[in-house]
Amino acid sequence: MKPFVVNDILSITAVEKIGVSSNVEIQHLLIDSRKLVSPDNTIFFAIKTSTNDGHHFIEELYLKGVRFFVVSQLPEIVKFPDATFYVAENVIAVLQTIAAFHRKQFVYPVIGITGSNGKTIVKEWLYHLLQPFFDIVRSPRSFNSQIGVPLSVWQMRESNELAIFEAGISLKGEMKRLQEIIQPTIGLITNLGEAHAEGFLDEEEKLLEKLQLFSAVEVLVYCKDHLIIDKNVEKLASSNKNLRTLTWGRHNNATIVLKDIKSQQHTTSLCVEYNHHIFNIEIPFVDQIAIENAMHCFALSVALNVSEKVIERMKDLPSLAMRLEMKEGQQNSILINDSYNADLTGVLSAIDFLAGQKSGMQKTAILSDISGLSNNIENTYRNLATFLHSKKIKTLYAVGSQFVSFASFFQSSGLECFIFSSTDELINHIHPGFFKDQLVLIKGARNFHFERISKVLETKLHKTRLEVNLSTITQNLKQYRSRIQPSVKLMAMVKAFSYGAGSFEIASLLQHNRVDYIAVAYVDEGVELRRAGIHIPIMVMNAEEDGFPSLVEYDLEPEVFSIEHAKKLSTFLEKEGIQYFPIHLKIDTGMHRLGLDEIQVDDFLEHFSGNRFLLKSVFTHLVASEDPLQDNFTKEQLSVFNNIFQKIQSAFSYRIIRHASNTAAIIRHPDAAYEMVRLGIGLYGVTSYNENISLTEAVELKTTIAQLRRVKKGESVGYGRGTILENDTTVATIRIGYADGFPRTLGNGQGQVTIRGRQYPTIGNVCMDMTMIDLGDDDQIQIDEEVLIFGKDYSVKIFAKKALTIPYEIMTGISGRVPRIYLSE
């Protein structure tokens, strides 16, 4: 493979070079300044998005040793005398062109996967099945976008024998570019569903866009039972005589016929016919989606002529969470568990995630040997030691022969280092007390079985839990940021324990994503966040007089909502000799809860326009911004606010921030964005209105079944004999009650829960710690099965409506005894 030197960019793209010429070999393509590993051979792509601008991080990276940059606007080059800038109109296009150039150097098979759902699962299952027979390079996690695909393809090396890449699109015209980068020789389309449907006129238009990935493949694998896919693939095949289709389905016209499906309690047996031979395949799943994904994998193995070799391995298909988990450990530790794979990209991402958490806690990494390395191994471990040190990781526990070989790199980097040859040796050495008050990353390849380490360290949890998906919150944040101008600041509300989701973890995530402000309800909430390492500005919405000293000590900025409040704060500051203390002034324009009216504003300006306060912002609270019927009232509020603000601004020589928009107003009243907006429950994908914004609910409340009991007709269930049975039924008692936040109003059939994708009603009154569910005659459900209270498949909005309340009350009412588990893609 010809090394890619930085000046090769000039021969393959239309860019202008500014700065010194160089023949440095490029090994790393960087788009995120936080993930820098090896500055000397890195090129940074300064990508502009609706929410961020990579050009802002050029100076930071230059100081860290990066010398090569692809930019769309040239910085002050006098600041960067040793740097080389490649100026292009479209930075992402340059990244894609470099990846496409790199791809052309390899002739081994490349599998391209697309479809509405299942791409990542199928890719990871293929890796599991095929890795004993091929040296495989694959997309990290869900790197399937216009940026993720080139970064994935860049990983290709001569030592690999097979590549597996996934491709995802949301708009017309995107797949053609991904095809040029991946250049697949074998194609697989999983299915066609509703995901990203908003970018297309109809289902067929979306399918035709996806099929462009396969314009030059030799073999295309798909399920023939999907009729719209089958029809359009046949059209594609008729226009491309070199294309061979390899199909599977329930009917005899498929290449591979799925003749029979037999599901047991936890496994499914598939009887498959191919080329007049019968194969019996067992998979450790019972749901239809898993069966479809498994058949895609088997059909792909047929295309690679290894089908008989993978059948035995299909018994062990892993249950892929495809995300890392944060959970409570013993001795007040927090565990970040990602013990599924350990390729280089995944390891660096996980370390970066660890570094982005609470800086007030000591950080420890438990790592296995990096998988998939074939060259530059020594350099990779040397750079990894530097990376760990730069991320302020204090202690490393490492397992594997590679770590043993390169232990000196880590020992000399300043890390406290413990290296073991096997996972058993590590487990015999450690004790939960070693990790007291620490953040612990557990990141290992599957063959090291690091899940055993997690079990040693984690707290034995109450089986009811609230799962908070941090990646989903990040995506929702990006959606809202795309609706405001880049110059508009964003304040995120983390009051009320971040709507029940957990203040520390959410605030840490928001800080990592460079939110401008966060807001809490009370002083002690702000103090806890400061102690946990949150350093971005914090507004306190209800700062009581006894909390004033903590405002000063912990650099917290109070909301001032009355003349009396302002006088008390001013008196305290005067005694302390403090001037220009930052405050946020609240104006009452119609809520009539807290805030100054126009007359009180005059009083405030008369007494407090001097140097006691530094007025950081003036804001108001919109009463009904989500309701179209109240739009006239909202406009009246904004008019009052504008008039009062002009009066306030004219009294001060410096610029003051205005904010009025809450979650609903960000979308419904874009003219009210001013200089800052306040985002609350929308972060979690929950809104009280129906607007054109793509959000995903980020919180799921789950529990399990404690007992199953057959109860006869005429008997009662629960306290007060609230339900008398009209028929024999099976009653499931689940481990959640009103003390956990399950409302009593949802008893006696008013509420329902989801088990195995099906909804079942409550029966009897809700108890303090338990709730009973009517399963009817369903005899397949087992003790300890998972029960979804609300989440992805049953919205908290529906749950709240059934309980005769609002999602805010449900989410903030989840008891503190319910463990929060944090997940990240």
Q: Is 315 exposed, middle or buried (0-12, 13-18, 19+ CB in 10 A)?
A: exposed
Active site residue 2: no
DSSP H or E stretch at residue 359: none
DSSP H or E stretch at residue 254: none
Q: Report the amino acid identity of residue 236.
A: L
Find the distance separating the first CA and the last CA of the chain, reported in whole Å. Answer: 33
Question: Residues 224, 327, 489, 495: which is the catalytic one?
Answer: 495
CA 481, chain centre distance (Å): 16
- The answer to whether the Cα torsion of 146, 152, 157, 162 is positive or negative is negative
The residues, any chain, with a CB within 8 Å of residue 668's CB and separated by 6 or more, are: 625, 626, 628, 689, 691
The residues, any chain, with a CB within 8 Å of residue 202's CB and separated by 6 or more, are: none
- The answer to whether the Cα torsion of 669, 672, 673, 676 is positive or negative is negative
109 close to 182: Cβ distance less than 8 angstroms: no
CA 789, chain centre distance (Å): 21
Neighbours of 706 (CB within 10 A): 15
Placement of tokens 């730069």 in the chain = 390
Q: How far apart are CA 753 and CA 743, in angstroms?
A: 13
Question: Residues 315, 647, 719, 801: which is the catalytic one?
Answer: 719
Tokens of 656: 């003051």
DSSP H or E stretch at residue 95: helix 91-103
Beta strands in 561-656 (DSSP E): 581-587, 613-620
Q: What are phi and psi of 638, to 5 degrees?
A: -65, -35
128 close to 318: Cβ distance less than 8 angstroms: yes
Q: How far apart are CA 348 and CA 388, in angstroms?
A: 9
Q: What is the largest CA-CA distance in the chain?
A: 93
Measure the CA dihedral 386/145/447/443, to 10°.
40
In eight-state DSSP terms, residue 350 is: H
The residues, any chain, with a CB within 8 Å of residue 708's CB and separated by 6 or more, are: 730, 731, 732, 733, 775, 781, 782, 783
Report CA-CA distances (Å) from 484 to 267, 404, 479, 679, 769.
49, 51, 10, 12, 44
Tokens of 258: 């799925």
Beta strands in 167-304 (DSSP E): 186-189, 219-223, 244-249, 256-263, 268-274, 277-283
DSSP H or E stretch at residue 449: none
Placement of tokens 């002529």 in the chain = 305
In eight-state DSSP terms, residue 380 is: H
- Beta sheet of 42-45, edge-to-edge order: 16-19, 84-87, 68-71, 42-45, 28-30
Name the packing angle between helices 203-211 and 174-182 (round to 10°).
20
The closest alpha carbon to 445, from 371, 347, 380, belongs to 371
The closest alpha carbon to 680, from 493, 813, 519, 480, belongs to 493
Q: How far apart are CA 319 and CA 283, in angstroms?
A: 11
- The answer to whether the Cα torsion of 38, 39, 42, 45 is positive or negative is positive
637 close to 590: Cβ distance less than 8 angstroms: yes
Beta strands in 569-672 (DSSP E): 581-587, 613-620, 657-659
DSSP H or E stretch at residue 643: helix 631-650
b/e map 587-610, b = 16+ CB within 10 Å: bbbbeeebbbeeebbeebeeebee
Tokens of 547: 């909390």
Active site residue 495: yes
**Which of the residues are catalytic?**
495, 719
